[in-house]
Amino acid sequence: MVNSEKGVRETWGTIPLGEIACEGAYVSKETGRLYQIPASAIQEGHSPLFNVLGPTGDEQVIRLSNNPFMPIDKLRLLASQANVEPRF
């Protein structure tokens, strides 16, 4: 949730990596890895354009932005604000 008066995000919800259903930029809480998911990657009726190779277990991700192509320096700052060490 973003506080409109302050322009600051107050909460950072997590979802399982395999349940991403909206485009955006996501960061893994466990690894700090960035996932950039464009709308075309999740459109119904299309083959998914992103694959996660290797075990993900219960990997939880945080949606940093609805823009998957936001500049990396801004995404790093948002990850830090969400208490995740960015490794991208």
pLDDT of residue 73: 96
* Stronger pLDDT, 6 or 13, i.e. the higher one: 13
| pTM for the whole structure | 0.79
Domain residues of the chain, as ranges? 12-45+59-88
Task: For residues 68-78, give the mean pLDDT.
Answer: 96
Bridge-partner residues for 28, per DSSP?
A: 61
Q: What is the pLDDT of residue 61?
A: 95
pLDDT at residue 17 in the model: 86
What pLDDT is recorded for position 7?
Answer: 47
72: three-class secondary structure by DSSP: helix
Q: What 3-state class would DSSP assign to 58?
A: coil
67, 54 contact by CB (below 8 A): no
Residues with Cβ < 8 Å from 50, sequence gap 6 or more? 35, 37, 41
- CA proximity to 33, closest of 52, 48, 9, 13: 52
